[in-house]
């Protein structure tokens, strides 16, 4: 098999770089000839030569007919889709494309309240109106899981004009809801299921992991190929399957949102990441699963530390677990997750994220016994150094009920705004999102009317020193509202 058959886009780039063509076109560094020495140390000479654009033999991402088309077709076949689209602006671009392809201004869409912030951007661009559904919360872990099919069915019954259902699958912590049942609920009403599968690009390569979104019946799926597989950061894919979302509308939306100067190194990394998974994906994911399970068992022998597993699954919003996500609860050694993450960083261990009780680690296709052994040693040291300390206080404040939507995210985005003291915000329409970690569920979303209960929750969470995101004034002395 030649290079073009294995990775057609990467092969075309290499062929152009080796052709000796004298470049009188963009980019300005002219295949590395004008690159600063520092850039040369960050990008190889061969990489700079291949970092080109606009040549006929390199195809056009907006209307692919050659090597890009072939590369996308190979990706679609591997992941079981009808079409694949290469993304050079991350999964954020894919989520925006999903919403704009499926919805028109004023349409309603069911969305989980713990969706990524890119969803709000997609609502602004599409002009759609959200119908929020609350995820299930795990009070022991202090994190949110997925939404249940029962809540989705109820929302569909209460909002018969809904045009689509949006799901996050799996969550950042690797917890998967019953997506097959959610897909069935959506399709019974004749509406498509759109899935943010940013953390699930590897799922279809192992039967030991939750089923992937496409196999569950999703119509559009956004994947972060760079998060858990071998693509470069910012390189993602959008998959389409079935006829519920018109193929031509997806293509037009993609062309609208995508830069006219896509980075070919990012696109080639998607082509090569696909090739890698086609060649050895099952073996690589199997190793990651094995290492994760071995590490989980070892961590659970350490005093004060706890890493949950499949034993907490099989409950509402938590049907299955991607075991390659290791959530280590550190409450038993008397510290917060953020404190533990800082201490581990001093030991040259960098976690993915931390919340009030947990530190999250990702075991990917890159890891071997060497890396997991180092992580265990660091956690063992953390446990022994802080063993015997009283357990950290447990967050007991409940997130207030969903607020009433007064304006759509798009209307809110274009509305005049002002800042008011938090104590005077009751009854005003929020112009910003306010979220605390944990539990990571937005307390207030742009366009919602702020309640007295929400203000009280914000005051209590800030008093406890919880980390706030989204707010321009992170002290929450003031909040941004519609003028």
CATH code for the domain of 458: 3.90.100.10
Same domain, residue pair 417 and 378: no
pLDDT at 50: 86
Composition of the chain by helix, strand, coil, percent to 5: 40, 15, 45
In a domain, residue 438? The reply is: yes
The string of DSSP letters for 150-214 reads HHHHHHHHH-TT--EEEEE-S-TTSEE--HHHHHHHHHHTT--EEEE-TT-TTGGG-TTSPPPTT
Same domain, residue pair 375 and 451: no
Same domain, residue pair 365 and 427: no
For residue 349, give its domain range. Answer: 282-386
In a domain, residue 444? The reply is: yes
Who contacts 396 (Cβ-Cβ below 8 Å, separation ≥6)?
none
Same domain, residue pair 307 and 362: yes
The domain that contains 356 carries what CATH number?
A: 3.90.1150.10
pLDDT at 387: 80
Who contacts 455 (Cβ-Cβ below 8 Å, separation ≥6)?
422, 423, 425, 426
pLDDT at 90: 94
Same domain, residue pair 427 and 477: yes
Please say which residue of 347, 371, 386 terminates a domain.
Answer: 386
Same domain, residue pair 382 and 421: no
In a domain, residue 319? The reply is: yes
**Intervals of the chain under pLDDT 70:** 1-5, 391-398, 437-440
pLDDT at 392: 63
Same domain, residue pair 430 and 348: no
Same domain, residue pair 362 and 445: no
State phi, psi for 461 to the nearest 5 degrees: -65, -40
Q: Tell me how many domains the chain contains.
A: 2
Same domain, residue pair 332 and 414: no
Q: Which residues of 61-93 are buried (b: 16+ CB within 10 A; e: fewer)?
A: beebeebbbbbbebbbebbebebbbbbbbbbbb
Side-chain-facing half-sphere of 330: CA atoms under 13 Å: 28
In a domain, residue 376? The reply is: yes
**Span 199-234, pLDDT tens digits:** 999 999 999 999 999 999 999 999 999 999 999 999
pLDDT at 139: 85
Residue 113 bridge partners (DSSP): none
In a domain, residue 395? The reply is: no
State phi, psi for 377 to the nearest 5 degrees: -60, -40
pTM over 0.75: yes
pLDDT at 285: 98
């Amino acid at each position: 098999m030649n290079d073009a058959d294995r990775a057609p886009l990467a092969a075309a780039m290499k062929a152009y770089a080796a052709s000796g063509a004298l470049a009188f076109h963009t980019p300005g560094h002219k295949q590395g000839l004008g690159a600063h020495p520092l850039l040369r140390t960050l990008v190889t000479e061969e990489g700079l030569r291949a970092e080109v654009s606009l040549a006929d033999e390199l195809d056009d991402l907006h209307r692919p007919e050659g090597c890009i088309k072939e590369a996308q077709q190979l990706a679609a076949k591997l992941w079981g889709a009808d079409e694949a689209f290469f993304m050079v602006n991350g999964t954020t671009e894919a989520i925006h494309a999903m919403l704009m392809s499926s919805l028109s201004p004023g349409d309603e869409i069911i969305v989980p309240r713990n969706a990524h912030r890119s969803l709000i951007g997609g609502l602004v661009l599409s002009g759609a109106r959200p119908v929020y559904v609350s995820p299930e919360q795990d009070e022991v872990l202090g994190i949110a899981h997925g939404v249940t099919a029962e809540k989705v069915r109820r929302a569909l019954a209460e909002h018969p004009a809904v045009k689509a259902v949006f799901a996050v699958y799996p969550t950042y912590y690797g917890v998967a809801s019953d997506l097959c049942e959610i897909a069935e609920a959506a399709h019974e009403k004749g509406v498509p299921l759109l899935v943010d599968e940013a953390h699930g690009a590897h799922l279809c390569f192992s039967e030991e992991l939750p089923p992937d979104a496409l196999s569950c019946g999703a119509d559009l799926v956004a994947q972060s190929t760079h998060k858990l597989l071998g693509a470069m950061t910012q390189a993602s894919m959008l998959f389409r399957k079935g006829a519920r979302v018109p193929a031509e509308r997806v293509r037009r939306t993609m062309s609208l949102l995508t830069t006219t100067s896509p980075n070919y190194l990012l696109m080639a990394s998607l082509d090569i990441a696909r090739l890698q998974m086609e060649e050895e994906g099952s073996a690589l994911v199997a190793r990651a699963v094995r290492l994760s399970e071995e590490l989980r068992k070892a961590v659970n022998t350490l005093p004060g530390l706890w890493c949950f597993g499949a034993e907490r699954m099989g409950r509402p919003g938590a049907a299955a677990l991607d075991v390659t996500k290791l959530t280590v609860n550190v409450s038993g050694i008397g510290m917060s997750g953020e404190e533990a993450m800082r201490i581990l960083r001093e030991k040259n261990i960098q976690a993915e994220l931390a919340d009030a009780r947990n530190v999250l680690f990702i075991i990917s296709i890159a890891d071997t016994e060497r890396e997991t052994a180092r992580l265990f040693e660091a956690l063992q040291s953390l446990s022994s150094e802080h063993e015997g300390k009283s357990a950290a206080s447990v967050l007991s404040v409940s997130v207030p009920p969903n607020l009433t939507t007064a304006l759509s995210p798009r209307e809110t985005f274009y509305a005049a705004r002002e800042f008011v003291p938090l104590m005077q915000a009751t009854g005003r329409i929020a112009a910003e999102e306010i979220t605390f970690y944990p539990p990571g569920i937005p307390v207030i979303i742009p366009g919602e009317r702020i309640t007295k209960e929400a203000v009280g929750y914000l005051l209590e969470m800030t008093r406890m020193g919880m980390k706030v995101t989204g707010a321009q004034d992170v002290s929450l002395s003031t909040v941004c509202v519609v003028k």
